[in-house]
Structure 1
Amino acid sequence: MELTNPRTAEPVLGAMYFGTRADEALSFDLLDAFVDLGGTWIDTANCYAFWEDPSGVGGQSERVLGRWLAARPGVRDRVRIATKVRHQPLVPHDWPGSAEGLSAGAIRRGFAASLERLGLDRVDLLWAHAEDRSVPLEETVAAFGALVAEGGVARLGASNHAAWRVEQARAIARAQGVEPWTAVQLRYSYVVPRPGAVLPEGGHVHAERDQLDHAEAERLDLWAYSPLLTGAYVRADRPLSEGYDHPGTARRLQTLAAVADELGVTRNQVVLAWLLGHTPAVHPILGVSSVVQLTEAMAARDLVLDVSTRARLDDVR
């Protein structure tokens, strides 16, 4: 059987609600299960999840991760940690008004606080969580590059950025002689919203064709958040937002259901397998609330779509 491109991507465990919606016991269970299932990358942010907690400033997810790492001797050698700076409120409950931004000082202070919460002296990937056009891009690029040069960060990425801004930043990094962004994080799934549709989730930037082409041409890692659309593929009580209301959505959902039934797997697993075999390669970020959900999602790694099945999914418009 002819297969699609070899797997170069892997699922990522999203830790957004660790310490808030997911209490510490559940968070530890999910982290343990992820490692036991062979998972490697864990993704968080310094602002997670300020909107879910009375503190109003975030940091809960990083603290839980820090306690888990401390309670599991040797696990740090088996996982890679990614976190983000940009959106943490400096004043409780004042967002986006007091969001830290991407000035050199904000990046350094935010990252230092992340390391303290995580109990680490180094992370494997640091993201610019969103654009900050109030700060010269040269300043932002230099500040991120300095953290790599100092040994606190292995790699850099840009989340929720336009493709042209990412490439402009990469050109600036080359001119400055510092580490460039080599990964991008965007919202992406099998079903896509109408071009230009405003999603109800403020700040979400969907991967459009130019961003996919950019990632492929520049060999950037593409991390996809909300790959399962908060349960919309499998739960009638989680309808898609108005931005997805177009004829292509119905056609794609119909084809997805048919493929899942024929293969004897869930729709979520087909979506994740489709992403994992994507060109450019996509690392889907899994936001789960139970070990059962996590186990189902991780099983998608074993579902490799053959060329004809993938073409059948891709050709639906």
Structure 2
Amino acid sequence: MLRRRIGGPTGPLAGALSLGTLPFGTTVDEKTSFAILDRFVEAGGNLLDTANAYAFWVPGGTGDESEATIGRWLADRGVRDQVLISTKAGARPTVPGTGLETAEGLSGAVVTKAAEDSLRRLGTDHIDVYWSHLEDRTVPLEETVEAFDSLVRDGKATVLGCSNHATWRTERARAVARAGGMTPYTCVQQRYSYLQPRFDLSLPESAHVHVTPELLDYLRAESDLTLMAYSSLISGAYTRADKPLPEAYDHPGSARRLAVLGEVADELGATSNQVVLAWLMAGDPPVIPIVGVSSVEQLDEILGAAELRLPEELRARLDAAAPGQAD
């Protein structure tokens, strides 16, 4: 699998696709999770994305499950030096059975403890990419930035990232880090796919933030920033009739874009999912899609995207297909 440096020119080499592990240990059992992880690494993948909150909303879930499953797999397979672990802090509920209304947030004490807990569950001494999972505007940015920087200085984190942040907040946090001689965020993780949303509609999952044209412009100007995209396949909506488009994507522009996507997929002998991922990976700026699967068979389809190359004329057709929102 193609490798690229993440988090700037001195960052680690990551595969062009990231494996999202959100359901591991909850809706995907451990045996299947291990099989998916094995196949991903066998195919050359190395970037595993998780969080300390996955998946607390599943009945019986606590948020430990995904990290703990990865930790047991790492211990059993002995492959820690072959993979990059990407995990997050900030969204874990502090009251069992509740949601983001009791999220732990990003105070210095919380960030420090969350990292220690993640390291324990993962069974490792460092996190390759450590993220602030969502904004916490109740805490001064200086406090959060200092806490994340301390983790890097102590060797417990390598690269830092922010997820679900407004572009201005990302820039402000990076400015705080630069001014204080601290480690800045050099990765950004937002919701992004080929279909473009209506930005006047908020997502039902209020903490989720879409990639915006402003963010793309900012990323192009900042050579040390890497963009990773979650929900890149919109939970199966490109290929599954039982998965209708979420409201934010349900507008005339999407219908036209889907039609062109289907035509391009047919011409390439690929699936729509593979074309979407190839479009993201070869974009401007290039994107590392984070893709979750629940079976090895689904993973094999996704891995096919890593070998797919979009000719310029086909990419131009995809780009020109009504990228805007409702008319």
Could you tell me the TM-score, scaled by structure 2's length? 0.93
SS at match of 2:204: coil
1-structure distance, mates of 2:321, 2:297:
31
Q: 1:31 maps to which residue? A: 37
Q: Does 1:255 align with 2:266?
A: no
Deviation at 1:175, TM superposition (A): 1.0
Match of 1:290 among 289, 292, 295: 295
- What letter is aligned with 2:235? T
Structure 2 matches for 1:1-317, cutoff 5 A? Answer: 8=4, 10-55=16-61, 57-73=62-78, 75-219=79-223, 220-317=225-322
SS at match of 2:235: helix
* Residues 18 and 288, structure 2, Cα contact 8 Å, conserved in 1: yes
What's the secondary structure of 1:177's corresponding residue? coil
- For the residues of structure 2 that align with 1:301 and 1:98, how far apart are their CA atoms? 39
Secondary structure, aligned partner of 1:192: coil
Q: Is the 8 A contact 2:57 2:99 kept in 1?
A: no
Q: Distance in 2 between matches of 1:53 and 1:71?
A: 27
Residues 161, 238 of structure 1: alpha-carbon distance in 2 compared, 3 angstrom cutoff: same
Judge which range, 93-102 or 268-277, deviates more: 93-102
SS of match in other structure, 2:129: strand
Q: How far off is 1:242 after superposition?
A: 1.6
Could you tell me how far apart the structure 2 residues matched to 1:198 and 1:157 are? Answer: 23
| SS of 1:97 mapped into structure 2 | helix
C-alpha displacement of 1:202? 3.0
Letter in 1 for 2:185: W
Q: 2:36 corresponds to which letter in structure 1?
A: L
Contact 1:7 1:276 (8 Å CA) reproduced: no
SS in 1 for 2:120: helix
Structure 2 runs not aligned, ≥5 long: 5-14, 323-327
Rounded to whole Å, the distance in 1 between the matches of 2:307 and 2:114 is 38
Hey, what does 2:10 align to over in structure 1?
A: none
Quick one: distance in 2 between partners of 1:238 and 1:150? 45
Cα 1:71–1:179 shift into 2, 3 Å: same
How far the C-alpha of 1:214 sits from its partner, in A, is: 1.1
SS of 2:27's equivalent? coil
Unaligned runs of 5+ in 1: 1-5
Q: After alignment, is 304-313 or 93-102 more displaced?
A: 93-102
Q: State whether residues 232 and 277 of structure 2, in contact with CA within 8 Å, keep that contact through their aligned partners in structure 1.
A: yes
Structure 1 residue 7 displacement after superposition: 7.8
Q: Whole-Å Cα distance in 2 between the matches of residues 204 and 98 of structure 1?
A: 16
Deviation at 1:206, TM superposition (A): 0.5
Greater CA drift, 160-169 or 86-95: 86-95
User: How far did 1:54 drift?
Assistant: 1.6
Letter in 2 for 1:29: A
Task: Provide the rounded CA distance (Å) in 1 between the counterparts of 2:68 and 2:149.
Answer: 25
| Paired residues of 1:200 and 1:241 also in contact (CA < 8 A) | no
Deviation at 1:94, TM superposition (A): 2.2
1:207 CA drift (Å): 0.2
Q: Using the alignment, how far apart are the partners of 2:199 and 2:104 within structure 1?
A: 30
Partner of 1:3: none
Q: Is the 8 A contact 1:62 1:114 kept in 2?
A: yes
Q: What's the TM-score once normalised by structure 1's chain length?
A: 0.95
Q: CA RMSD in A?
A: 1.2
Quote the Cα distance in structure 1 between the aligned partners of 2:82 and 2:106.
Answer: 30
